[in-house]
């Protein structure tokens, strides 16, 4: 296959994802409303909670609403990643996935294209959210908005890979509620998205340890530091490694010879 063909394939998948996103305006609004409610309502009520402590990478004291922004950026990407997985299940149910899978390109490539497309959409959502937060008065250094882009790509790929892996397990759309309860909520709440790790440690050692093991914590910290023009080496390493492992598992999961697809198709046929 010629490299130009690969590029065209990537362009096609990206375009489809973007079109789907543009046509689902309610999805865009929902993707923004969710973090905005957290920012304008939840964080406003707690604005004093962190005003008395200094946490890296911040150089001085910050309000809670400033602290929570990178966590909410992570949340946007987390929901988007899961929504992508939901769309995979939908595509499979509706049969449109066949169109994708009969493509002559290798499956791993198609999956990576799908991931990149999902990540691209999540980045559009993130920048829209950051723009609103900026107008609201939560302003990071201007260069930070540029430095955060690679962090957003890595985080988008990580949660996207997770979504992809999950979608290889989920048989029906209805099961998505389970994903919400057992994946999104624990990942988001038991992380440094809402409170710094030292604060979690003050209240519960178990929650602290779970949060310290949660890869989403490192994704959020990667975003947080990048937004303030710093590179968190450990967070970058962990996020990249977890992305690689999840992606490998997802590709394996979609492998017709070895993965979950075969078993599921079989199971589906029996049902």
Partner 1 sequence: MFKFGASGLLLLTLALTPPAALAERVFVSNEKDNTISVIDADRLEVIETIRVGRRPRSMAFSNNGEWLFVAVGDDEAIDIIDLETLQVRSRQASGPDPEVIRVDPNRPYIYVSNEDDNIVTVLDYERRSRVARIPVGVEPEGVALSPDGKWLVNTTETSNMAHFIDTETFEVVHNVLVDARPRHAEFTKDGSEVWVSAEIGATVSVIDMEDFRIKQTIDFDVRGVPRETVQAVGVELTSDGRYAFVALGPSNRVAVVDQQSYEVLDYILVGQRVWHLALNGDETRLFTTNGVSGDVTVIDVESRRALKSIPVGRFPWGVVVSP
List residues near partner 1 by CB under 8 A.
47-48, 51-52, 54, 56-57, 59-63, 141, 143, 147, 225, 229-233
Whose Cβ is closer to partner 1: residue 91's or residue 229's?
229
Q: How many CA atoms lie within 13 A of 43 on its CB side?
A: 26
Pick the closer one to partner 1 by CB: 16 or 47.
47
Distance CA 156, CA 126 (A): 10
Choose between 61 and 182: whose C-beta lies nearer to partner 1: 61
Residues 6 or more apart from 264 whose CB is under 8 A from it?
Answer: 168, 169, 171
Q: What Cα–Cα distance (Å) separates residue 203 from each residue in 131, 196, 209?
A: 34, 12, 12
Q: Minimum Å distance from CB 45 to partner 1?
A: 9
Q: Is the peptide bond before 57 cis (omega within 30 degrees of 0)?
A: yes
Torsion of CA 191, 192, 196, 197, to 10 degrees: 50
* 175 vs 230 by CB, closer to partner 1: 230
Provide, rounded to whole angstroms, the least separation between the CB of residue 243 and partner 1: 21
b/e per residue, 92-129, with b = 16+ CB within 10 A?
A: beeeebeebeebebebebbbbbbbbbbbbbbbbbbbeb
Minimum distance from CB of 222 to partner 1 (Å)? Answer: 11
219/191 Cα distance (integer angstroms): 10
Closest to partner 1 by CB, 46 or 169: 46
- Provide the minimum distance between the beta carbon of 136 and partner 1 in the complex, in angstroms, as a whole number: 15
Q: Provide, rounded to whole angstroms, the least separation between the CB of residue 229 and partner 1.
A: 5
**Between 69 and 164, CB nearer to partner 1:** 69
Kindly state the smallest distance separating residue 239's Cβ from partner 1, in Å.
15
């Amino acid at each position: 296959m010629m490299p130009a063909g690969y590029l065209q394939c990537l362009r096609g998948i990206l375009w489809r994802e973007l079109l789907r996103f543009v046509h689902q305006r309610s999805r865009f609004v929902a993707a923004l409303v969710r973090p905005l409610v957290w920012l304008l309502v939840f964080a406003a009520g707690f604005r004093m909670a962190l005003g008395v402590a200094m946490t890296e990478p911040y150089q001085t004291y910050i309000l809670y609403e400033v602290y929570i922004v990178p966590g909410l950026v992570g949340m946007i990407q987390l929901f988007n990643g899961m929504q992508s997985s939901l769309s995979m299940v939908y595509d499979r149910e509706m049969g449109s996935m066949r169109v994708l899978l009969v493509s002559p390109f290798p499956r791993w490539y198609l999956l990576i294209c799908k991931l990149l497309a999902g990540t691209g959409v999540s980045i559009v959502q993130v920048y829209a959210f950051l723009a609103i937060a900026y107008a609201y008065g939560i302003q990071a250094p201007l260069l930070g908005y540029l430095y955060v882009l690679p962090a957003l790509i890595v985080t988008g790929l990580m949660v996207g890979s997770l979504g992809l892996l999950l979608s290889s397990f989920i048989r029906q759309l209805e099961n998505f509620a389970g994903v919400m309860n057992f994946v999104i909520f624990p990942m988001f709440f038991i992380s440094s998205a809402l409170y710094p790790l030292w604060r979690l440690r003050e209240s519960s050692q178990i929650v602290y340890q779970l949060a310290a093991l949660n890869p989403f914590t490192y994704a959020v910290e990667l975003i947080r530091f990048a937004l303030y023009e710093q590179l968190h080496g450990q967070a970058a390493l962990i996020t990249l490694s977890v992305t690689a492992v999840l992606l490998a598992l997802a590709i394996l999961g979609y492998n017709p010879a070895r993965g979950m697809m075969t078993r599921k198709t079989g199971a589906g046929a029996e049902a």
